[in-house]
Amino acid sequence: MTLGLLGSLLASHMFQFGHATEFRTTSGNRTIVRTVSATSRVGFDDDTQRQMDAPTHQHDELEFGVLDHGGYMMEYGDGYHLGGSCGVDASCGVGVGRYGPVCIERFWVEFEFLLWWRESRFYPPLVTGNDPGVLPDATVLFGGGSVDEQARPGGRLQFGMWLDDCQCLGIGGRFVSIGDAKNRFELNSGDLPFFARPFFDDLTGQQEALVVDNMGTQGTTFGQIQVLTESEFLAADAFLRCLMVRTCHSRLDFLFGYQMGRLNEGLLIESSSSPTGATAADSLRVRDSFRTSNEFHGGHFGIQGRYQRGCWGLELMTKFGFGNMNQQADLSGSTDPNRPNSGLLVQQGSNAGVHTRDTFSYMHDTGIKLFYHPVDRIRLSVGYSLMFFSSVLRPGDQIDTTVDSSFFGLEPSPNAVRPAFDFNATHFYAHGLSLGLECRF
């Protein structure tokens, strides 16, 4: 019992903040082991020199600031240290507070540099070479398949906050934008001796071509043509993040919230041709424009998981969204002179105009990140992401290359219906690499 009294006396002079101290006493042939955990100062009051009782409370007794949240260390109240472990090696300097490893991180902000590719765009044959430029024998100079996309830079911003000290419930948002994809195809008389714009004549039932430049052996027409394409893509979401499972080194969260996405693209074909020796007033200028706009609004749900050992970790995220996709196609054309509202592949009275509809669509967003903590509350990451939308309008799919040549006259045939417009939808995806920097505070 003498050792027991000595143990109690030593305990009354200990200073413990969230640490467990083991005391052993003997009583006869028995050894009694007691574990004491305390978060307040134990010893003598500085003012009154009165001895304070040593508390012997276990974890989860909130009045002493001791709280074990499934393996996550946090601080509670005014500087109290809460028990548990973040699963982060303290030697990394990650999550180290005044009294040891802590995980009180209420807010997070992450910016990522993106290098993403869009899905290839399809265009029918729009420019041909080799006199007379008529398909299928002519050489296709632009179109006739998918045009590969180059990687474009972009950015993704994510931010959020935890609504409780346990980091069990949080809210956040993300914004993603990829740089505009603009391409130009251009030909002049000095580039090739012959090029034209092909189409199928619905009136005669034969392949035809509008000659733009013919400076070959005949040398009768000189001209130029340019095809401009553009694409803009962005997405944003707001989410609620709920803890599902947490261990010492990992956690799994359920995500649900609001999702939006926008894809705007355009195609412009302009050609100008003049007879040899003619003035600018005698030139024929033909213009066709196809612009599409897609905007998604809906709800999403998914999961986000993280596994961490020491300074390194892996994070996975996948979510699905369902909602409305507003689709719009704006087709316009002009021919100078005489036909200000009709081009070659866009004709007033058939497919020209603004066409709009709403349709059900779904999206999928998934990603994986490898991250590293160089210092406390800072995270560096490298990853891969994929974003998919099930139904969008793209300019090349809205082009009808069958044209009733009676439209070229002053009085088109009343039976002329081509080129026609139809909502030809397809899917769209964007994917690529990311480099991120996250700050938690």
Question: And the tokens for 310?
Answer: 């020491």
**Is residue 429 helix, strand or coil?**
strand
Over range 84-93, report the average pLDDT.
40
Over range 226-234, report the average pLDDT.
97
Over range 370-398, report the average pLDDT.
97
Q: Is it the case that residue 197 has pLDDT exceeding 50?
A: yes
Q: Is it the case that residue 231 has pLDDT exceeding 60?
A: yes
Q: Is it the case that residue 63 has pLDDT exceeding 50?
A: no
Question: And the tokens for 77?
Answer: 């109240």
Give the fold, CATH level 3, of 107-440: Lipocalin (2.40.128)
Predicted pLDDT at 277: 73
Q: Is it the case that residue 32 has pLDDT exceeding 70?
A: no
Predicted pLDDT at 218: 64
Q: How far is CA 316 from the centre of its chain?
A: 14
- Per-residue confidence at 287, pLDDT binned at 50, 70, 90? very high
Question: And the tokens for 111?
Answer: 């910016």
Q: Is it the case that residue 112 has pLDDT exceeding 80?
A: yes
Task: DSSP for 6-68, please give it.
Answer: HHHHHHTT---SSEEEEEEEEETTEEEEEEEEE-S--SB-TTT-PBPPPP-B-TT-GGGT---
The rounded distance, in Å, linking the Cα atoms of 211 and 222 is 9
CB within 8 A of 161, min separation 6: which ones? 106, 107, 108, 170, 171, 172
Question: And the tokens for 106?
Answer: 């209420």
Percent of the chain with pLDDT over 70: 75
Question: And the tokens for 217?
Answer: 């052996």
Q: What is the pLDDT of residues 301-357, one digit of tens each?
A: 999 999 999 999 999 999 999 999 999 999 999 998 888 889 999 999 899 999 999
Domain boundaries, the chain: 1-57, 67-103, 107-440
Tell me the CA end-to-end span of the chain in Å, nearest whole number. Answer: 50
**Is residue 130 helix, strand or coil?**
coil
The model's pTM is 0.77
- Per-residue confidence at 189, pLDDT binned at 50, 70, 90? confident
Residue from 130, 273, 270 nearest 194 by CA: 130
Predicted pLDDT at 282: 75
CB within 8 A of 207, min separation 6: which ones? 134, 135, 136, 198, 199, 200, 201
- Cβ atoms of 138 and 208 within 8 Å: the answer is no
Predicted pLDDT at 392: 98
Over range 81-102, report the average pLDDT.
40
- Per-residue confidence at 271, pLDDT binned at 50, 70, 90? very high
